[in-house]
């Protein structure tokens, strides 16, 4: 995010909290950061705030902006700050000071009658908050822990100009129409059954078929590029997760349990399983690079507050691969993965993306010199294929740096999908080796990579990209045959069977309902083509074809229509 915009939005979150404190003085505040879309503030208010309260809060914010208070920074010792906020009844601020802040010098920001615990930075004055809007309200557990109290989270946004705000709100309305959480169930793709557990996806027939088509495409693409398919168990003994580092660095996201005195972990990642397959026998330099691929289902203990439709779930499947290679093969393999990724994204209709390199985090495994080599290899490959990229300092996985490829959809939103991670550490932790041309043992390097990432997440992105109206090659139902009356049902059935023999996914709608009603329903279900069969069509042996958006395409022969469908599928238009 642009630093100026981040300062503006963070300042707007203070103005919002200040307005709420003025309206309901007993409100106790927790935290209010800027976000990619705006800002939010978590608070404990005696009133249950709803969107009906937003005009009242926005009016009070307007007063504070007109008062044009300066944002002034001051400092206290931890002890002084804790006592100061305790006297003001700000128990959440007091707890943050005592349990989350390590420095003895605590930063405080003041604007007018409002004082907040904050590191900053801020804009100069409240009057610089030019254009803002409150957006929504949700619940948020204190510190994100389900055992803690549920606070209210108020979302808003702010921009430097009203024009930018208006553009954002217009795009947000369009995004609402595309929301996969509504379209997915409405189109019969999936549901999330809360009684079975939060963040667990149930695929309905259309969704399961769509997922199969994506999986079939992914398998074919990997076979064509020399990947070998593998399969690994859904759980492993905890000593494996200890050896890989997951128990030390990822434990809070894992499901752990005991059976007959032994500890197991449900896999949050597929890499240790692929490592064990590699290690199952001696390997030679002649085999390298070895590319193991698995559509591997994993489970992660995500907090309820961060779960979001298909985009953030507890159980999901990755198009996961691990490449074991020699050091002199590393850059070339990364380049190939990047080319592979770009081709797949184009096939699914994406034409624009951003690349981001995430470097060594504070908590990591392995040697710094190996991290430097890994970051250098990723940088070299990405610049050859893409040019410049963004840098996310400290954003790498605990075992290696990574490249993230973020897709840009039709609304200009970025979605994290593909990732490429370079890992010198796990081969060391599992003592992997291969026999070199010199007859000596050498250590391979691992590349962790996913093209689509989570299939669930990618499906959610696809639904929003196309607003549910998938291109023909991905549509679960490609054609609906609609006879006008009972007299045409035999011909309609004959057509339906013919389409099936040509591999076309077809449905026959011969219900006793008006033709226009059945056409509208097919359009609502986002079926690409409708074949309407009346007396003339049956007599002449032709088709009256309708397209879901263009409407009536006129009459076609069966052969011409099938050729049209085949061409559209092949070109993935």
pLDDT of residue 528: 97
What is the Cα–Cα distance from 557 to 562, expressed in whole angstroms?
9
DSSP string, 343-395: HHHHHTT---EEEEEE---SS--S-HHHHHHHHHHHHHHHHHHT---EEETT-
Over residues 343-355, the mean pLDDT reads 93
Write down the catalytic residue from 448, 457, 546, 548: 448
402 a catalytic residue:
yes
Nearest residue to 34 via CA among 1, 6, 71, 4: 6
What CATH fold (topology level) applies to the domain 472-571? Rossmann fold (3.40.50)
pLDDT of residue 407: 92
What CATH fold (topology level) applies to the domain 184-233+267-466? BirA Bifunctional Protein; domain 2 (3.30.930)
Cβ–Cβ under 8 Å, residues 356 and 418: no
Write down the catalytic residue from 30, 111, 116, 320: 320
262 a catalytic residue:
no
Distance of CA 323 to the CA centre of its chain: 24
Write down the catalytic residue from 7, 178, 180, 322: 322
Cβ–Cβ under 8 Å, residues 118 and 14: yes
What is the Cα–Cα distance from 81 to 95, expressed in whole angstroms?
11
126's tokens:
């409240």
Cα angle for residues 280, 285, 286 (degrees, 5° grid): 100
192-196, 410-414, 443-447: segment of lowest average pLDDT? 410-414
Nearest residue to 149 via CA among 61, 249, 28: 28
102 a catalytic residue:
no
455's tokens:
């299939």
Instruction: Give me the half-sphere count of Cα atoms (radius 13 Å) on the Cβ side of residue 211.
Output: 23
What is the Cα–Cα distance from 277 to 254, expressed in whole angstroms?
22
> Residues 244-292: pLDDT tens digits?
989 988 898 999 999 999 999 999 999 999 999 999 999 999 999 999 9
What is the Cα–Cα distance from 165 to 130, expressed in whole angstroms?
10
Query: Is pLDDT of 304 > 80?
Result: no
pLDDT of residue 523: 94
Write down the catalytic residue from 118, 271, 325, 422: 271
**Structure confidence at residue 2 as a pLDDT band (50, 70, 90):** confident
Buried b (16+ CB within 10 A) or exposed e, 158-181: bbeeeeebeebeeeeeeeeebebb
Query: Is pLDDT of 305 > 80?
Result: no
pLDDT of residue 363: 84
45 a catalytic residue:
no
Q: Is 551 left (phi over 0), alpha (psi -120 to 50) or beta?
A: left
**Structure confidence at residue 238 as a pLDDT band (50, 70, 90):** very high
> Residues 76-127: pLDDT tens digits?
999 999 999 999 999 999 999 999 888 899 999 999 999 999 999 999 999 9
> Residues 394-415: pLDDT tens digits?
888 888 899 999 999 888 888 9
Nearest residue to 460 via CA among 129, 128, 210: 210
CATH dotted code for 3-173: 3.30.980.10
322 a catalytic residue:
yes
> Residues 492-546: pLDDT tens digits?
999 999 999 999 999 999 999 999 999 999 999 999 999 999 999 888 888 999 9
Quick one: 422 exposed, middle or buried, by C-beta within 10 A (0-12, 13-18, 19+)? buried
What is the Cα–Cα distance from 29 to 10, expressed in whole angstroms?
15
Q: Which residues pair with 418 in a beta bridge?
A: 405
Query: Is pLDDT of 444 > 80?
Result: yes
304's tokens:
């309820």
For the chain, how big is the Rg over CA atoms in Å? Answer: 28
320 a catalytic residue:
yes
Write down the catalytic residue from 267, 300, 449, 457: 300
448 a catalytic residue:
yes
Write down the catalytic residue from 246, 402, 518, 546: 402
> Residues 200-227: pLDDT tens digits?
999 999 999 999 999 999 999 999 999 9
pLDDT of residue 519: 94
pLDDT of residue 538: 87
> Residues 42-70: pLDDT tens digits?
999 999 999 999 999 999 999 999 999 99
pLDDT of residue 178: 94
Q: Which helix (H) or strand (E) holds 548?
A: none
Q: At what angle do helices 91-99 and 78-87 cross, to 10 degrees?
A: 160
> Residues 132-165: pLDDT tens digits?
999 999 998 898 777 899 999 999 999 999 999 9
What value does the mean pLDDT of the chain take? Answer: 94
**Structure confidence at residue 365 as a pLDDT band (50, 70, 90):** confident
pLDDT of residue 465: 95
**Structure confidence at residue 466 as a pLDDT band (50, 70, 90):** very high
CA dihedral 367, 373, 376, 382 (to 10 degrees): -100
Query: Is pLDDT of 1 > 80?
Result: no
pLDDT of residue 98: 92
Over residues 443-466, the mean pLDDT reads 96
CB neighbourhood size of 86 (10 A): 15
In the chain, domain spans: 3-173, 184-233+267-466, 472-571
What is the Cα–Cα distance from 136 to 51, expressed in whole angstroms?
7
DSSP string, 443-493: --EEEEEEEEEEHHHHHHHHHHHHTT---GGG-S--EEEEESSGGGHHHHH
pLDDT of residue 51: 95
Identical fold, 3-173 and 472-571: no
Write down the catalytic residue from 18, 152, 318, 329: 318
pLDDT of residue 108: 96
Cα angle for residues 347, 348, 352 (degrees, 5° grid): 90
Q: Which helix (H) or strand (E) holds 113?
A: none
């Amino acid at each position: 995010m642009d630093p100026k915009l981040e300062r503006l939005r963070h300042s707007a979150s203070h103005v919002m909290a200040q307005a709420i404190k003025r309206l309901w003085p007993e409100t106790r505040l927790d935290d209010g950061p800027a976000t990619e879309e705006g800002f939010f503030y978590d608070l404990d208010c005696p009133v249950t705030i709803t969107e009906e309260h937003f005009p009242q809060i926005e009016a009070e914010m307007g007063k504070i902006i007109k008062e044009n208070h300066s944002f002034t920074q001051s400092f206290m010792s931890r002890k002084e700050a804790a006592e100061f906020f305790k006297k003001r009844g700000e128990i959440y601020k007091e707890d943050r000071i005592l349990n989350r802040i390590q420095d003895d010098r605590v930063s405080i920001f003041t604007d007018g009658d409002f004082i907040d615990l904050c590191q900053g930075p801020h804009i100069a004055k409240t009057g610089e908050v030019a254009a803002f809007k409150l957006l929504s309200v949700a619940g948020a557990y204190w510190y994100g822990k389900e055992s803690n109290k549920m606070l209210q989270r108020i979302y808003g946004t702010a921009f430097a100009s009203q024009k930018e705000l208006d553009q954002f709100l217009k795009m947000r309305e369009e995004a609402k129409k595309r929301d996969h959480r509504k379209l997915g169930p409405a189109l019969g793709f999936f549901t999330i059954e809360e009684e079975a557990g939060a963040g667990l996806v149930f695929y309905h027939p259309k969704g399961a078929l769509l997922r199969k088509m994506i999986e079939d495409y992914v398998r074919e693409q990997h076979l064509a590029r020399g990947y070998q398919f593998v399969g690994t168990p859904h759980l492993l003994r905890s000593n494996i997760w200890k050896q890989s580092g997951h128990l030390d660095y990822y434990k809070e996201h894992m499901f752990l349990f005991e059976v007959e005195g032994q500890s197991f972990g449900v896999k949050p990642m597929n890499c240790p399983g692929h490592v064990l397959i590699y290690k199952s026998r001696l390997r030679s330099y002649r085999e390298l690079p070895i590319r193991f691929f698995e559509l591997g289902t994993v489970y992660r203990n995500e907090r309820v507050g961060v779960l979001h439709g298909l985009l953030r779930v507890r159980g999901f499947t990755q198009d996961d691969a691990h490449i074991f290679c020699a050091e002199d093969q590393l850059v070339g393999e990364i380049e190939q993965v990047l080319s592979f990724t770009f081709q797949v994204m184009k096939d699914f209709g994406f034409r624009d993306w951003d690349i981001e390199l995430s470097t060594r985090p504070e908590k990591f495994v392995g040697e710094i010199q190996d991290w430097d080599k890994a970051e250098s290899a990723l940088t070299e490959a990405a610049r050859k294929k893409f040019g410049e990229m963004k840098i996310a300092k400290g954003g790498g996985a605990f075992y290696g740096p990574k490249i993230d490829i973020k897709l840009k959809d039709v609304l200009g939103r970025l979605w994290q999908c593909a990732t490429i991670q370079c890992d010198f550490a796990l081969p060391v932790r599992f003592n992997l080796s291969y026999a070199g041309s010199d007859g000596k043992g050498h250590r391979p390097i691992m590349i962790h990579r996913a093209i689509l990432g989570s299939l669930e997440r990618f499906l959610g992105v696809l639904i929003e990209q196309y607003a549910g109206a998938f291109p023909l090659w991905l549509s679960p139902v490609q054609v609906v045959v609609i006879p006008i009356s009972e007299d045409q049902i035999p011909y309609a059935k004959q057509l339906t069977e013919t389409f099936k023999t040509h591999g076309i996914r077809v449905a026959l709608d011969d219900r006793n309902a008006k033709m226009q009603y059945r056409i509208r329903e097919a359009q609502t279900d986002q079926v690409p083509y409708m074949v309407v069969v009346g007396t003339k069509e049956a007599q002449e042996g032709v088709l009256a074809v309708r397209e879901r958006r263009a409407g009536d395409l006129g009459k076609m022969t069966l052969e011409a229509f099938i050729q049209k469908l085949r061409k559209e599928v092949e070109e993935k238009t």
